[in-house]
Amino acid sequence: MALWVDKYRPRELSKLDYHKDQAENLRNLCKQSDFPHLMFYGPSGAGKKTRIMCLLREMYGAGVERLRNETMNFTTPSNRKIEVMTVGSNYHLEVNPSDAGMYDRTVVIDLIKQVAQTQQIDINGQREFKVIVISEGDELTKDAQHALRRTMEKYVATCRIILSVNSTSRIIPAIRSRCLGIRVPAPSESDMAAVLQNTCKREGLVLPPELAKRVVDKSERNMRRALLMLEASKVQQYPFTAQQEIVELDWQVYLRETATQIVSEQTPAKLEKIRDRLYELLSQGVPPNLIFRGLVEQLVNNCDMSIKAKTLEFATQYEHRMQNGAKHIFHLEAFVAQFMNIYKKFLAELVMTDDF
Amino acid sequence: MDQYPDENEEFELQYQDELELLEDVPQEYDNVVVDGPSTSRQAAAALKQQRQQGGTPTGTVATAAIQDVSRFSNSTLSSPHLSQITFGASQTDAGGGGPVNRRLFGTPRGPTVGRGCSTPLQRLPGIQETAMDTAAPLPNSASEQLQEVGLRGNNKRRLERDLFGDIDDLYHESYEDPLLKKARTEEQRDNEAIERILELRRKLRETGKTVPHDEVSRLRALHDFKMKNLSYQIPTWPFLALQRSDLERLYVRYHSEDYERRQLELLSVRGNQVGSLLGEAKQQVWQDANELVLRRLTSATQPVCAAPAPPSPDMGRLWVDKYKPRKYIDLLSDEMTNRSLLYWLKMWDKVVFGKTFQSKQEQKGANTGGAGGQQLNSFNKRTGKFESNGGWRQRKQRQALNTNVDELGRPMQKVALLCGPPGLGKTTLAHTIARHAGYNVREINASDDRSPEAFKLALENGTQMSSVLNQDKRPNCIVLDEIDGAPRQSIEYLVKFVSDGIYSKVKSKGAKAEHNVLRRPIICICNDIYDPALRSLRQIAFVVSFPPIDAARLAERLLQISHKEHLKTDFGSLIALAEKSGNDVRSCISSMQFFSAQKQSLTLQDVLNNNLGQKDRHQGLFDVWGAVFRIKRPKRQLQQINSNNSEEPAQVTMTNMSVGTRVRNVLDVVHSSGDYERLTQGVYENYLQQKMPDPNFTGICEAMQWFCFSDMVQHQIGRQQNYSIYPYLQYGFVVWHLLFATLAWPKIAFPTRGFEFNQKCTNQLNIFQSLRKGVTTSAQGVGQGTILLLDTVPLLKRILSPQLRSVAIQLLSQKEQYDLRHTIQVMVDLGLTFVQVKSAEGHYVFQTEPDLDTLCAFPGFAGLTLPYFSRQLIAREVDLERIRRAAPKGDATKSTIASVTVSAKKPEAARLPNHLQTLKPKQVTDFSSRSGPKQQLTKDFFGRVTHKTTAATAMDEVKTDAIVKSPIWYRYKEGFNNAVRKDVHLNELL
């Protein structure tokens, strides 16, 4: 527990730094006997997972924190071996179905169902059910979600499911209606600044408020990112100064540079260079929708008002198509080419109007 | 002269019946031919004797003379020896030879003429008309004879031409009449003659007027010939004297045997039988002719048969088989290829036949005392010679034939691999050349069982045994046809076999140490050399790739065949056929046979309008991309010919550039390949390199739309197995073609980007997975999946890059110490460590394991910035920390470490799980041997106590850390050594 993110992570509902009302509600929820399936949703780095862990501790006590890693192997019907890593205690099991990729249905059928079917051995425990935490639940394929819905109902006596998702839009309504949705909004900037200051105090460091604010800005209200950035900045330079450089994410910088290049030149040769950069981003595992988003944000910032709407329109169009396809590079490049097209036209018109 | 029939006999013969006469003909003329009068004097004597018998009644004499002449011609007709003379005599001349000729033969009456005697000369005007006769029949009776003459002239010419073929109509004309003559009057004969002439003419017209047009010149030549061989005066050359009906004497020349033979040769050359020049063939023909004569005699009343050349007797046979090259010289394939293969095969001679093979060039070199005397001489000298020679050897370099031989005298490349598209004659070449070089060909092709076992058996049998039953003890040469279809194991076996990797089973049992050495050449044949199964074979084989056959050369051969098969065609259409089939010989010949069976002719229109000869060729990827990015040059020689011949020339030429044709062409090509995904990728990676006038990106945008579309379609197909939308994939290529195609030759690179991308993705994913697995439960906050990758990893690189000076750990400042501790803790939490690896340059570097530097690494961004020394330090510390964490945390350990470990570690140690308490007894030993282990460990590997280590320990006492104090560093190396074994407890090391 060396990273600040782990070290200073609240472990009890009462020690949460923000959304305290919600914490109170959660504690009340635990006190009641009928605990529903839950779905925590909110942006990344808002504290969903922290709240889930706190909730579990509230229910089961400190035993939940005795975690162990387990790797489970499955064989899909098509005879493919997949490995799923789980983290669990005696009372709960955490799975990340995205490990299995498109075979997550097998995970749901085999693993979750199996766990759900088994009774809790320790009767002395406070609850007679176990909890399965599915992190990144929105990565579940439709098949897996459909496989899940019956399991949720049938084994409700022995098992509760807590989903942690970024957006409910990718969860099928059937699941959504079976869960109690708990929204965990991203912390406000002042909350974040307070957390950062608090952390530094516990570390015995002095953090200038300006730097804290800048870190918060850079982190896009992502608590995890903010803490990691602060820690990285600390390694780079300490004592802190207000104007010191904050470590940024490489891929974001790279993406930004790419967008700048798109605006700077519109030739087929440039398009090819852009393609190389896009390939690079994709191969490094940056999800294509994030690339799309990063590009669009930068391009819209850098272009004239008159073509902003058009850019957005094309972006949505190509992004949608991308979801229906498999080769993301085509769609990304198509969008870039389209933007180059409208941007060039815009420039040409600009020259024309300037002449007259 | 003795053997020559004397006058009495001859005189008798003249009065005999024709039938009798004819029966005697062969033997008589055999004699004549063989023993002609050797001198003119002898001939004169014979003449004198004949003259003594001259007082016979005029009428009889006349008929006798005519008969004589006619007999002469009869016999010559049936005898090839003299045929030229008589036929020559039967021809006429329009020029000044007239009077002489008239005097020579007088005016024959109808029947004699009708009998086809050799006297058409007296009718000079008629002769003038001969050329026209066939075209314009003259109705009046006065000219009937002329017609008859002319016609006969024609017929005879044809007869001469078809000397060995159509003896029947010759016979009819000349010999039917004499049989019936006696019983008929002149008028009757005339009528008959007229009828027959008309009949003949009709048939002639039917057969398509095969009269050659150079009549006059031929007549002249023949007349000249006659003038040389017939004379009124006693000539200087050997002769036979004859008396004509008008009592004129004339002298017919005798020729020597040599002359006859020469003439015969000329004849047979002019005929079709090139293969069998003399000997039996002649006898054969002779016999055939006699048989025909006899048959005609027995059924003499048969009508004249002037039907066209009868269809070839072997209709059932495929022409491909029939006209297969049987000799090296017949081979149609590229001479360079043939020769290099033959050269390779000849290099085996030393092993197979035991005689050294020297190429002619080498021999020449040896004879002239040049450089390359020995066969095994250096290659350079030879190449020098090759260069001077030019020719195929220079090009052979390209074919990569290694002319060196191994210690056994075998060529270095022990397998020849012929490759090329179908129908070029690879199999034929292999067979022909192997036979040419003196081998017995054993073919193993796709129809044979080629499972590894059967293949092995066949190979071994083929190379190590020879046929017992077969008469000729030729060594075997294995031809593995269609090897690209063989199972991979078989090919692997072949490769091993060829590279002498197969040892005999005896050896494996340990009895004999000799292994099987390949002593026979092996020729493999394949279509696609880049077949993955052939990869290993390709490396060791002598690869002969077949260039396409020249269309003109192929067409020439086709023309020959068409002549032989009486297929009417022309060179242009044959070239068209060749080009259409992609110079596939087999396909061309088959098409020709098809047309021949259908209608006996093959025109350009047929070639262009039919779908014959078109193959569903498998196009290479590059061909398809080429077709997409290139507008095909519209004009080809063939097309222009075509445009002239066809009805709508304008359309033919225009359509080539039109969009419709281009679209069709692209669709065809794309269809033939079919692998749309790869094709799309290829187009995608190449389209930006093409020259295109597209300033506004409109075209690119449109192209990209289609890329997106095809991606979506493919995804849908893959996901739902919905192949009904598959056909839509091909239209993208049309759009791309129309957008990007130019007339220039496009630069197309093989699309590797997508593949590399996929590989990199997999690689990254694997590293990431191992990173994920390594994350311990105490570091759950870093997230999972993409969060870990995108948020944590980039920042982690910075967090793990503290600024440390390259000094010993004790000399680090407070802050540095703290940073170091922090780094180590984080690394252990995340399951990271540094391992020493050898980089590509040969340096040793410390790399994180799993390799954090490659994750989220973008060009131009720094990864971990730690120097080598720090990494080394950290690696060591991380190892120690791991052991510490894994070790049972008792009081003693805690107390020793407590002073240096960060405070954060304390609660962790305190929270010791209960079940670990059972391990406590070990701590007792730890306690007891607190001073002990140092003593123990000062011993060296074999247990001897060394002083140096005690000194070191003394020095180490100064240090605070118990682990750093220890003189022995423990590092786990994989594998084990059981030479010395000693139980070492972990605690002793700590």
Residue B72 contacts residue B254 (beta carbons within 8 Å): no
Task: Give the minimum alpha-carbon distance from A304 to chain B in angstroms, rounded to a whole number.
Answer: 18
User: Is the preceding peptide bond at B475 cis, omega within 30 degrees of 0?
Assistant: no
Assess B815–A contact: CB distance below 8 Å, yes or no.
yes
Q: Are residues B74 and B119 in the same domain?
A: yes
Length of chain A: 356
Residue (of B596, B591, B562, B555) closest to B323 by Cα position: B562
Give percent above pLDDT 70 in chain A. 97
Give percent above pLDDT 70 in chain B. 55
Q: Where are the beta strands (DSSP E) in B732-815?
A: none
Give residue limits of the domains in chain A: 4-183, 189-236, 250-355
Question: What digits encode the pLDDT tens for the residues B222-273?
Answer: 777 777 777 777 777 777 777 777 777 777 777 777 777 887 777 665 555 4
What single-letter DSSP state applies at residue B776? -
Residue A105 or residue B242, greater confidence:
A105
The three-class DSSP label of residue A205 is: coil
Q: Compute the distance between CA of residue A230 and CA of residue A248 in angstroms, rounded to an integer.
A: 10
Residue B32 contacts residue B228 (beta carbons within 8 Å): no
Q: Compute the distance between CA of residue B676 and CA of residue B621 in angstroms, rounded to an integer.
A: 10
Q: Compute the distance between CA of residue B522 and CA of residue B490 in angstroms, rounded to an integer.
A: 14
Q: Is the pLDDT of residue A299 over 70?
A: yes
Residue A126 contacts residue A35 (beta carbons within 8 Å): no
Count of structural domains within chain B: 4
Q: Compute the distance between CA of residue A341 and CA of residue B703 in angstroms, rounded to an integer.
A: 13
CB contact under 8 A, A250 and B858: yes
From residue B715, alpha-carbon distances to A100, A215, A328, B166 in Å are 20, 41, 11, 73
Task: Give the minimum alpha-carbon distance from B905 to chain A in angstroms, rounded to a whole number.
Answer: 9
Q: Compute the distance between CA of residue A190 and CA of residue B101 in angstroms, rounded to an integer.
A: 137
Hey, which residues 777-796 in chain B have their CB within 8 Å of chain A? 777-787, 789-792, 794-796
Instruction: Please give the pLDDT value at position B946.
Output: 54
Residue B713 or residue B599, greater confidence:
B713
Phi and psi at residue B157, in whole multiples of 5°? -60, -45
Q: Are residues B75 and B25 in the same domain?
A: yes
Q: Are residues B861 and B958 in the same domain?
A: no
Instruction: Please give the pLDDT value at position A138.
Output: 85
Residue (of B124, B135, B97) closest to B222 by Cα position: B97
Q: Is the pLDDT of residue B611 over 80?
A: no
Q: Are residues B36 and B76 in the same domain?
A: yes
Instruction: Please give the pLDDT value at position B655.
Output: 43
pTM of the predicted model as reported, rounded to 2 decimal places: 0.58
Domain that includes residue B960, residue range: 914-989
Interface with chain A: mutation pick from B685, B696, B708, B769, highest number of A CBs within 10 Å = B708
Q: Compute the distance between CA of residue A328 and CA of residue A321 in angstroms, rounded to an integer.
A: 9
Amino acid at B905: K
Assess B116–A contact: CB distance below 8 Å, yes or no.
no
Instruction: Please give the pLDDT value at position A193.
Output: 93
Q: Answer positive or negative: Cα dihedral of B897, B902, B907, B913.
A: negative
Question: What digits encode the pLDDT tens for the residues B204-216?
Answer: 666 644 444 556 7
CATH of A250-355, one of 3.30.420.40, 1.10.357.10, 1.10.510.10, 1.20.272.10: 1.20.272.10
H helices present in B255-404, as ranges: 257-270, 280-298, 319-322, 335-346, 349-352, 360-367, 379-389, 391-399
Residue B944 binned pLDDT confidence (cut-offs 50, 70, 90): low
Q: Are residues B291 and B348 in the same domain?
A: no
Mean pLDDT within B44-61:
48
CB contact under 8 A, A44 and B711: no
Q: Is the pLDDT of residue B129 over 60?
A: no
Q: Are residues B81 and B230 in the same domain?
A: yes
Q: Are residues B804 and B930 in the same domain?
A: no
Q: Is the pLDDT of residue B183 over 80?
A: no
Residue of A nearest to B686 (CA): A272
Would B90 be classed as within a structural domain?
yes
What's the gap between Cα A229 and its chain centre? 17
For residue B541, what are its two tokens?
Answer: 């084989």
Q: Compute the distance between CA of residue B986 and CA of residue B926 in angstroms, rounded to an integer.
A: 10
Burial profile B262-295: b = 16 or more Cβ within 10 angstroms, e = fewer: ebbeebbeeeeeeeeeeeeebeebbeebeebbee
Interface with chain A: mutation pick from B676, B686, B690, B704, highest number of A CBs within 10 Å = B704
CATH of A4-183, one of 3.40.50.300, 3.10.450.50, 2.40.30.10, 3.40.50.2300: 3.40.50.300
Residue B444 binned pLDDT confidence (cut-offs 50, 70, 90): confident
Task: Give the minimum alpha-carbon distance from B712 to chain A in angstroms, rounded to a whole number.
Answer: 4
Q: Is the pLDDT of residue B147 over 60?
A: no
Question: What digits encode the pLDDT tens for the residues B638-677?
Answer: 444 444 444 444 344 444 567 888 888 888 888 877 788 8
Tell me the average pLDDT of chain B: 66
Residue A96 contacts residue A85 (beta carbons within 8 Å): yes
Tell me chain B's radius of gyration from C-alpha atoms: 49
Assess B904–A contact: CB distance below 8 Å, yes or no.
yes
Residue B964 binned pLDDT confidence (cut-offs 50, 70, 90): low
Final residue before a domain boundary, out of B870, B886, B902: B886
- Residues from chain A that touch B688, judged by Cβ atoms under 8 A, are 268-269, 271-272, 275
How many Cβ atoms from other residues are within 10 Å of residue B97's Cβ?
A: 18
Would B95 be classed as within a structural domain?
yes
Q: Compute the distance between CA of residue A312 and CA of residue A300 in angstroms, rounded to an integer.
A: 8
Task: Give the minimum alpha-carbon distance from A68 to chain B in angstroms, rounded to a whole number.
Answer: 6
Partnered with residue A84 across adjacent β-strands are A72
Assess B745–A contact: CB distance below 8 Å, yes or no.
no
For residue B710, what are its two tokens?
Answer: 């095809």
The region of weakest confidence among B307-316, B710-719, B797-806, B830-839 is B307-316
Q: Which residue has the tokens 């027995």?
A: B298
ipTM of the complex: 0.91
Assess B704–A contact: CB distance below 8 Å, yes or no.
yes
Residue B811 binned pLDDT confidence (cut-offs 50, 70, 90): confident
> Where is B534: in which H helix or E strand?
none
Would B54 be classed as within a structural domain?
yes
What single-letter DSSP state applies at residue B538? H
Assess B765–A contact: CB distance below 8 Å, yes or no.
yes
- Residues from chain B that touch A68, judged by Cβ atoms under 8 A, are 777
Would B795 be classed as within a structural domain?
yes
CB contact under 8 A, A228 and B861: no
Q: Compute the distance between CA of residue B975 and CA of residue B965 in angstroms, rounded to an integer.
A: 27
Instruction: Please give the pLDDT value at position B122.
Output: 44
Contacts of B87 (CB under 8 A, 6+ apart): B76, B118, B156, B159, B160, B222
Question: What digits encode the pLDDT tens for the residues B331-357?
Answer: 777 777 888 888 888 888 877 777 666
Task: Give the minimum alpha-carbon distance from B657 to chain A in angstroms, rounded to a whole number.
Answer: 27
Residue of A nearest to B768 (CA): A285
Q: Are residues B146 and B289 in the same domain?
A: yes
Q: Compute the distance between CA of residue A249 and CA of residue A253 in angstroms, rounded to an integer.
A: 6
Final residue before a domain boundary, out of B510, B545, B580: B545
